[in-house]
A and B are shown apart, each in its own frame.
Chain A
Amino acid sequence: MRSFREALSAGTLALLPLLLLTACGGGGDAADSSASAEEEAREPATAGPPADAADGEAGAPVTPAEYYAEHPEFFREANPEDLPADLSWEDGMDQPVFASPEAVRGGTLRSFLLNFPPTVRLVGPDSNHSFRSALLDDNAVSLVARHPETGRFFAALAEEWAVLPDQQTVVYRLREDATFSDGEPVRTEDFFYLFYFMQSPHIQAPWYNNWYSTEYNGITRYDDRTFAIHLSTPKPEPLEFASVRPVPAHFYGTLQPDWVPGHQWKFEPTTGPYELLPENIQHGRSLRLTRVEDWWANDHKFYRHRFNPAAKHYAIVRDLNIAFERFKKGEFDLFGLTLPEYWYERSAEAEPFQRGLIRKAVFYNQRPRPSIGLWINEDQGYLADPLIRRGIAHAMDFDRVIEKHFRGDYARLQGTSDGFGAFTHPDLAARPFDINRARELFAEAGFDQPGPDGILRNADGDRLSFTVTVSQGPREEVLQILREEARKAGLELNILSLEPTSAFKQILEKQHQIAFSGWNTSLPYPRYWEGFHSANAGRPQTNNITNTDDPGLDALIERYRASTSREEKIALAHQLEERVHEEAVFIPGYYVPFYRVAYWRWIHFPEHFDVRLSQGAGQYGLLWIDQEERSRILAERRGDSTYENDVLVYDRYAPDQP
């Protein structure tokens, strides 16, 4: 599923800050604006023309069979006997179960969305909205899935898999009983179809077109349930890329030029537990996902006792304040409380919280942290000077932001690759706020004369003043605090706050001086090529928004990319992180080491509440509803019964340092 997530975030990631309040898993992330606003990707945003599809006669419908025949080098047919003999099949089933056996099925989980999704198509224009995670990423089941505690894979749609020694081919055998939500079995054809679909110009998704034609080298069919996915290059963890989801061939058939408008409100049959039936789409008002009857994975070791509610109802509430009021009335089951004012004042005063009818929980997770911070464009005037960049780093008082604005709840990011386990540099730390050190560095760079406004100047009379581009929203406030403190170091930051799409466009076109932004990062390991290789410098629409262009760094990155050994890769990642720190093109900001949620008493969670990689309550479908308790508590609401109302803290995965 990883490739989808990346595609999802990279394709039109600018949209995400706009739709920043996802209701992923029943409002788990709602109100998590400062965190989910960072959901931006690490993949290059560039979208080249599809290698295969675009040179065909775009526009004329081609049937899948014709398409496979036209591209025999990609769509390979073979016989079961052709399977390599000494395959070592794996299924990852030895890992521990993470769902709670006490979970009960049934009930409706009610939450809200701030916007009605523009479409329920899973790809194509406008499909990259926040609700898509509920439709796709947290729902559909791929060939294999990452265990959210151990981080290793287990077989999902596949019964078992085998990685070939070349580290770029994975053979799968599908489960006999795997079906789509419309009852059709999942077969090899649906994976052939995936590539036909994703390479087609009719889906109007250039990023997908590109990804599925360049990252994959082909697919081989051995029989109806056995096939191999071939990657273009060897990878240390090929499963990450080779685990794809099937696209139902029987549902779409031959793609037509009007595919995009024709499927605006048609939800494709899914392999996941919830489906969106046409009668459950109330335009502009609500959406309701219902559980697939006799879901094929009901008895799968890692899908049992999960996705317990019989339905998930999402009402559209366009204002967070109103949504919170309705939550307090019991109209919604969950409410994300990552924003400090909701977590503290706004919930403290409310009666249902005081009486313990609503509980508050904080769950510390452990996952790659979005790299939120200041990205400095090396190609802009004085910012080319590393002394200036290091000086700016010392002039940014992120500790004050964390301490005062985020009330000490968030933590300082130390580099570009935090939260990657062994890949994270063990002792490299972000430059601390130190005005004297900053002034020394600025003086070394020639800025040593304070002007009448307190801002430093150099011999030419140029002021030490830079503009920071930021998306409108919570980060603007952070920047205003940084700006006030930076003045003490004689540095002026002008704030250019743009509507998110414009801000993102400006940054991708490298027109910014400094960008206050963040990329979403994803397992298995940090990426440097996209963000720091000279191949992406000075070109618009790539992720190298710092325009870093350094031959030494390039060589390291190329070795890192080519390496297929985990140990070597870790060592190289540490070296790379040191170089990036040296360059000082990225000033690490902060990260949220947890998610916080409020929920009515009738919602129950497993003993450990959630899993290590979880981003929000409900993402992994571990909660359940006690319907009897629900009617009882709703009846008691008018009375004066009280329960314990202490805050539940699950800090198994809390960072060591305070």
Chain B
Amino acid sequence: MNPITRRRLQHFRSLKRGYWSFLIFAAIILVAALAELWINQRAIVVSYDGRLYFPTYASQYSGEEFGQDYPYEANYRALKEQFAAPGNPNWVLMPLIPYGPDESVYREGSFPPYPPSARTQHYLGTDPLGRDVLARLVYGFRIALGFSLGLMACTYLLAILIGCAMGYFGGWFDLTGQRLMEIWTNIPFLYVVIILASTIPPAVGAPARIGALLAVMVIFNWIAMANYMRTAAYRERARDYIAAARVIGAGPLRIIFRHLLPNTLSIVVTFIPFTVVAGITALTALDFLGFGIPPPTPSWGELLQQGTNRLDAPWIVASTFVAMVVVLTLVTFIGEGIREAFDPKKFSYFR
């Protein structure tokens, strides 16, 4: 790690707000990544007839394997109750929250959405389909974050490549590139998403659909970043170190990636948190409108929509709202910290 970066990171650590936000956010991600272990309808461990089973990440065990009379996946909550009978040597260890994100649980005599209750272990209540809100929030967060990170990586790759090339080569390449970008920005994004959603044949599975959505969002998101990269590259290529590199005989690709990019990296790093936030909000908005990830995949947008339709069940919209505010605030604080730490006016050098 070069000394400048180290100094920048040190500086970031000294910015308490950003640094603590970063730690909390990292912890949230870690906890969410292991969601299957603490929010799941599948047991963590089942001891049955002297054998131990670990259903969390394994393939499904049918009810028959645990001596039940049904051929589909075992209902571990029911098993637990059954095994708890005195004298039964078997036992089940359930996760902290024994509900899956897609699982509708109905109670006798009343109808969802059920309010939060520690007794039923629905700590944030359920949605109108009887699904645990906390489970959907956590799994939905994981999906949105993963989607957002993927979106960011693809967008930046494209933006850096095109932006730097335009800035570095300039001339007609830059000119036509810019015109194309102007035309491109005028295509309405939402229409393309709607058209896409309706033209993919039904046989195509959910992963491919999410991939297509990601691709469309990348195609429409790279332009802003490419503009920044183009400007930065324009500025940098006039500097002496680029001229020196060229004199030594370095090719354009080497110059862009070895010399130009490291010196413009602070722009990229600064934008990352904000892009992640934008990705999460964009996906939430699309889900809210019904053009995002196909149901029943848990999603914040869907929760918000259910919540605003059911204001009589305020825990749905309140939980989602608080979760969104927390995540977006944390990421914004991190972003501010990074921006300050990587401020080129503070530490910069020419290579």
Contact = CB atoms under 8 A, between A and B. Distances in A.
B206 to A, nearest CB: 6
Given A340-B111, A341-B310, A494-B294, A502 B72 contact: no
Given A483-B296, A497-B290, A404 B202 contact: no
Q: Chain A contact residues: over half helix, strand or loop, or mixed?
A: helix
Contacts, number: 96
B88 interface: no
A439 B71 contact: yes
Nearest to B209: A496
Interface string A424-461: 00000000000110010000000000111110000000
A407 B203 CA distance: 33
Interface in A590-644: none
A467 B205 CA distance: 8
Given A499-B194, A499-B290, A452 B203 contact: no
Q: Interface residues of A toward B: which range?
A: 35 or more
Nearest to B201: A511
Contacts of B291: 499
Interface in B308-322: 308-312
Contact of A502 (B62, B194, B201, B206): B194
Given A341-B310, A484-B102, A496 B294 contact: yes
Given A487-B72, A496-B294, A499-B291, A452 B59 contact: yes
Given A439-B71, A454-B60, A496-B294, A512 B194 contact: no
Nearest to A492: B205
Interface in B54-70: 59-60, 62, 70
B82 interface: no
B73 interface: yes
B295 interface: yes
B106 interface: yes
Given A497-B290, A498-B198, A499-B198, A453 B71 contact: no
A488 interface: yes
B104 A480 contact: yes
A224 interface: no
Contacts of A477: 128-129
A435 B71 contact: yes
A326 B39 CA distance: 41
Interface in A330-378: 340-341, 344-346, 349
A342 to B, nearest CB: 9
Nearest to B112: A404
Contacts of B206: 494
Contact of B311 (A321, A344, A452): A321
A442 B309 CA distance: 39
A149 interface: no
A505 B198 contact: yes
A495 B296 contact: yes
B73 to A, nearest CB: 5
A391 to B, nearest CB: 14
B174 interface: no
A380 to B, nearest CB: 8
Given A453-B60, A480-B129, A346 B312 contact: yes
A405 interface: yes
B197 interface: yes
Contact of A404 (B59, B62, B111, B203): B111
A467 B295 contact: no
Contact of B197 (A467, A479, A499, A512): A499
A476 interface: yes
Nearest to A512: B202
Interface string A456-472: 00000000000101001
Contacts of A484: 102-104, 296
A495 B294 contact: yes
Contacts of A522: none
Contacts of B202: 467, 469, 494, 496, 506, 511-513
Interface string B135-159: 0000000000000000000000000
A454 B59 CA distance: 8
A499 B196 CA distance: 11
Query: A-B pairs with the 7 shortest C-beta distances?
Result: A452-B59, A502-B198, A488-B72, A467-B202, A454-B60, A472-B290, A404-B106
Given A454-B62, A480-B102, A480-B129, 18 more contacts: A320-B309, A344-B111, A346-B312, A404-B111, A452-B59, A453-B60, A480-B296, A483-B296, A484-B104, A484-B296, A494-B205, A496-B202, A498-B197, A498-B198, A502-B198, A503-B198, A512-B202, A513-B202
19 contacts: A321-B308, A340-B111, A341-B310, A344-B111, A380-B203, A407-B111, A450-B71, A453-B60, A454-B73, A467-B203, A477-B128, A480-B102, A480-B104, A484-B104, A489-B72, A490-B72, A499-B194, A499-B291, A506-B202
Interface of A: 320-321, 340-341, 344-346, 349, 380-381, 404-405, 407, 435-436, 439, 450-454, 467, 469, 472, 476-477, 479-481, 483-484, 487-490, 494-499, 502-503, 505-506, 511-513
